[in-house]
Chains A and B, each alone.
Chain A
């Protein structure tokens, strides 16, 4: 279970508060969506969960399965099951995708106290997952994300997620830059990973993605706080009314 309690975050180098008291609980096995306008703090929340540098938590806490993760390094969090699918996946020239996947998978397995996979085991596993996402062998041999289209990069994020088998997946604007077909493939990949042991947080600007990945709950975030929580129908309501009502409200 993810519990975010009264989380206040500012940028490390300037006194600019971005998150101003976020409260959020995602029980085991549930998928929640956070929707909100640009600049509402959605991506910051994703980064702070994953442990990126450059932010200072001034108040509050993030508990994952009852344990605070705020002091943990990003790789320790990953070992605890936290995964962030990036809005803009980065390119890593000179490092083959398979090499990267294997390094990541084995690092996580090792930290989780599990046995590292042998090369044949690993290849079999990755190829099976890759096939589901339409990731070709040729792509696996290429340097990570180099020369990949936007859709290919997003599919690669989902592939990494399925290989690392996280228990908390945060997907930051995974729908951005995707056409309907690519979104369908990505959504299928995400839906396949839904399960009673896995919590997910979808961050999105548009309702569209939620037609394909139906959330258990929808939260509206604006101005650094969660202002409204409701069932999946809330997303449709937002689609009609827009964020204007939330942006205007004073905190």
Chain B
């Protein structure tokens, strides 16, 4: 391998580990996994634009400085502060589990008394024998996962038992207080056969707009289970969020993922979804807003590893200022995966001349009896529709807002849980209104 000079951030990410290693949770096996991961990272370095998967989001260039890892508990945080950071999500009736600067905070979390669900903080779980950290080799993504494995401090280990139907959603809150720190979290979620659950991750900032997150969620959806999994990133104008989802969907199961990103300097959400059983359905959709110099990258790898599964993706971006949206959607249909049905669409609404949208769909189809399609559009606000509304007495600003609402609604309508859907819609629309100068 050709040696490339390490950047300041790469050197710091590798070097900071030694200083915090003994403060990180887990037994010996975990410590070894961490140390091996930092070695992997050292060899790989940060992904950059010459790596195909990072063509539009050159992490080596974006991540100029590695912030010091947050370890140990932050000071007191009020529930009101958490509510404020969650905005419209705060009113959702949900089982709330809060992490501040990557550490579980029982005093801000609801005690789990619901039958059928078990939640353990990852830090605690890692102390037990037999609990390790997944270290899959994900194409183009190994460095990000390695950093997560090395630095992860906490997260939620959730088990939903067979046939359990959770009446209330679970809301995992990841709040950042510390100015300029790296927060690394991981959730390990399994939903057993025929269970139903709605799980939400909210990554929010309490104070500083600056910070770095590396947030990974593994989720296994059992046979016949139905899962809604939403993620909200509202991390701050100078924050950098690296998100990874690893989703495994079992036979006849239904998985509906939704990602809403706004008001975050740099976001890269990479999701890997693999079907492990036939006749399963998955939908990953979302809305992203970028303005100023914000950058939101949504990368999906949908793997039809087995026959007769359905995948749907619909992402809608609203780009203003010099905001940039990136969508990379790869759909793989393995040789035996006949009767696969995949559809993908990415659309951007451009509110300024300087905004940019890069969309790269990729279909890798090795089976012959499949239906797969993809599309991408990039458009400005429709002047004819604006005139139509204004001719009915609606002022320009309200008409614009209604048009943007109309544009994103198709994506938010994918969220089946009514309360969650309404909260997400209100949150996105609220965020758009905040952006007005």
* A84 in contact with B393 given A93-B410, A103-B398 (CB within 8 Å): no
- CB nearest to B402 among chain A residues: A95
* A93 in contact with B406 given A53-B383, A53-B387 (CB within 8 Å): yes
Are B406 and A94 touching (Cβ within 8 A)? yes
Are B405 and A86 touching (Cβ within 8 A)? no
Are A90 and B390 touching (Cβ within 8 A)? no
* Measured CA separation A139–B399 after assembly (Å): 21
- Cβ of B392: which chain A residues have Cβ within 8 Å of it? 75, 78, 83, 100, 104, 107-108, 160, 164
Instruction: Decide if A74 is an interface residue (CB 8 Å cutoff).
Output: yes
Instruction: Decide if A151 is an interface residue (CB 8 Å cutoff).
Output: no
Interface footprint category on B: 20 to 34
* Measured CA separation A86–B391 after assembly (Å): 10
Q: Flag B388-431 by CB within 8 Å of A: 1 or 0 each.
A: 11111111101100110111111001000000000000000000
- CB nearest to B406 among chain A residues: A94
Q: Flag A42-73 by CB within 8 Å of B: 1 or 0 each.
A: 00000000111100000000000000000001
Are B390 and A92 touching (Cβ within 8 A)? no
Instruction: Decide if B134 is an interface residue (CB 8 Å cutoff).
Output: no
Instruction: Decide if A177 is an interface residue (CB 8 Å cutoff).
Output: no
Are B385 and A92 touching (Cβ within 8 A)? yes
Task: Choose among B383, B384, B398, B408 the residue that contacts A107 (Cβ–Cβ < 8 A).
Answer: B398
Instruction: Decide if A133 is an interface residue (CB 8 Å cutoff).
Output: no
- CB nearest to A89 among chain B residues: B388
- Cβ of A125: which chain B residues have Cβ within 8 Å of it? none
- Cβ of B406: which chain A residues have Cβ within 8 Å of it? 92-95, 143
Task: Choose among A74, A92, A100, A143 the residue that contacts B387 (Cβ–Cβ < 8 A).
Answer: A74
Task: Choose among B383, B389, B407, B408 the residue that contacts A104 (Cβ–Cβ < 8 A).
Answer: B389
- Cβ of B409: which chain A residues have Cβ within 8 Å of it? 93-95
Are B402 and A75 touching (Cβ within 8 A)? no
- Cβ of B383: which chain A residues have Cβ within 8 Å of it? 53
- CB nearest to A91 among chain B residues: B385
Instruction: Decide if A228 is an interface residue (CB 8 Å cutoff).
Output: no
- CB nearest to B413 among chain A residues: A94
- Cβ of A51: which chain B residues have Cβ within 8 Å of it? 390-391
Task: Choose among A50, A92, A94 the residue that contacts B391 (Cβ–Cβ < 8 A).
Answer: A50
Task: Choose among A73, A108, A143 the residue that contacts B396 (Cβ–Cβ < 8 A).
Answer: A73
Are A90 and B388 touching (Cβ within 8 A)? yes
- Cβ of B407: which chain A residues have Cβ within 8 Å of it? 94
* Measured CA separation A78–B393 after assembly (Å): 5
Tell me the residues in window 157-184 of chain A with beta carbons closer than 8 Å to chain B beta carbons. 160, 164
Are A103 and B402 touching (Cβ within 8 A)? yes
Of B390, B391, B399, B409, the most chain A CB neighbours within 10 A belong to B391
* A75 in contact with B385 given A100-B402, A103-B402 (CB within 8 Å): no
Task: Give the shortest distance, in Å, between A22 (CB) and chain B (any CB).
Answer: 20
* A78 in contact with B408 given A53-B383, A92-B385 (CB within 8 Å): no
- Cβ of A94: which chain B residues have Cβ within 8 Å of it? 405-410, 413
Task: Choose among B384, B391, B402, B405 the residue that contacts A84 (Cβ–Cβ < 8 A).
Answer: B391
* Measured CA separation A84–B390 after assembly (Å): 11
Instruction: Decide if A141 is an interface residue (CB 8 Å cutoff).
Output: no
Are A79 and B402 touching (Cβ within 8 A)? no
- CB nearest to B399 among chain A residues: A75
Are B410 and A108 touching (Cβ within 8 A)? no
- CB nearest to B394 among chain A residues: A107
- Cβ of B396: which chain A residues have Cβ within 8 Å of it? 73, 75
Are A74 and B390 touching (Cβ within 8 A)? yes
Instruction: Decide if A208 is an interface residue (CB 8 Å cutoff).
Output: no
Are A52 and B387 touching (Cβ within 8 A)? yes
- CB nearest to A77 among chain B residues: B391
Are A78 and B405 touching (Cβ within 8 A)? no
Task: Give the shortest distance, in Å, between A193 (CB) and chain B (any CB).
Answer: 16
- Cβ of B385: which chain A residues have Cβ within 8 Å of it? 90, 92
Of A52, A75, A86, A90, the most chain B CB neighbours within 10 A belong to A75
* Measured CA separation A159–B406 after assembly (Å): 21
- Cβ of B390: which chain A residues have Cβ within 8 Å of it? 51, 73-75, 78
Of A51, A93, A104, A108, the most chain B CB neighbours within 10 A belong to A104
Are A108 and B393 touching (Cβ within 8 A)? yes
- Cβ of B387: which chain A residues have Cβ within 8 Å of it? 50, 52-53, 74
Top 4 nearest A-B pairs (CB, nearest first) are: A94-B409, A78-B393, A108-B393, A74-B390
Report 15 cross-chain contacts, Cβ distance below 8 Å, ordered by A residue.
A50-B391, A73-B390, A74-B387, A83-B391, A90-B388, A92-B389, A92-B403, A93-B410, A94-B405, A94-B409, A95-B402, A95-B409, A103-B402, A107-B392, A107-B394
